[in-house]
């Protein structure tokens, strides 16, 4: 019997960090989870229309701070991050998908409360399908 895929929502606060995540395929997280290879990460950010999904990635590798090279460890610790997630593959949506256009529209979690939220495999699939439809 195969194990269900796990999904998480991780937010990105700053525009320059959005570019860094998508260019380096790396997300630094302060959220402690039992990250594992194959976890699906939906990347979100506040936009002019509210919280929106920017894209998604699959965890290829999850490293704790002590596993990183010294310079990278210093960068991460300055921001309070404890994990470095390598996302491969990583996909960026052409049009960010507003959370209110997904099954999470009625979810009371907004903004930073979405950060670290766990999703079932069915929820991930529904959001990715909505993102595909939204691209037009």
- Is the pLDDT at 113 greater than 90? The verdict is no
Look at residue 40 in the predicted model and tell me its pLDDT: 97
Q: What is the mean pLDDT of residues 28-57?
A: 94
At residue 27, the pLDDT reads 97
Please give the average per-residue pLDDT across 56-63, as a whole number: 97
> Which of 15, 62, 18, 6 has the alpha carbon at shortest distance from 43?
18
pLDDT category at 128 given cuts 50, 70, 90 is very high
The pLDDT, as a whole number, for residue 2 is 53
Confidence of residue 109 (pLDDT cuts 50, 70, 90): confident
Percent of the chain at pLDDT > 70 equals 98
Using alpha carbons only, what angle is made at residue 89 by residues 87 and 94, rounded to the nearest 5 degrees?
105
Residues 124 and 41 sit within 8 Å (Cβ to Cβ): no
Q: Give the confidence band of 1 by pLDDT, cuts at 50, 70, 90.
A: very low
Q: Are 94 and 55 in contact, with CB atoms under 8 Å apart? A: no
Report the 10 Å Cβ neighbour count for 109: 14
* Domain 7-131 superfamily per CATH: Hypothetical protein. (2.30.130.30)
* Confidence band, pLDDT 50/70/90 cuts, at residue 3: low
Say which residues have a Cβ less than 8 Å from residue 129's Cβ, sequence separation at least 6: none
CA distance linking residue 71 with residue 6, whole number of Å: 31
Provide mean pLDDT across the span 55-67.
Answer: 96
Mean pLDDT of the region 110-115: 82
């Amino acid at each position: 019997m195969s194990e269900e895929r796990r999904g998480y929502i991780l937010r990105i606060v700053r525009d320059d960090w959005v570019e860094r995540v998508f260019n380096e395929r790396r997300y630094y997280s302060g959220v402690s989870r039992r990250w594992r290879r194959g976890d699906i990460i939906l990347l979100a950010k506040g936009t002019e229309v509210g919280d929106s999904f920017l894209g998604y990635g699959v965890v290829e590798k999850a490293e704790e701070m002590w596993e990183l090279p010294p310079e990278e460890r210093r960068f991460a610790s300055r921001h309070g991050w404890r994990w470095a997630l390598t996302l491969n593959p990583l996909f960026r949506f052409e049009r960010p998908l507003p959370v209110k256009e997904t099954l999470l529209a009625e979810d009371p979690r907004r903004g930073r409360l979405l950060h670290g939220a766990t999703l079932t495999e069915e929820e991930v699939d529904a959001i990715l399908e909505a993102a595909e439809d939204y691209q037009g």
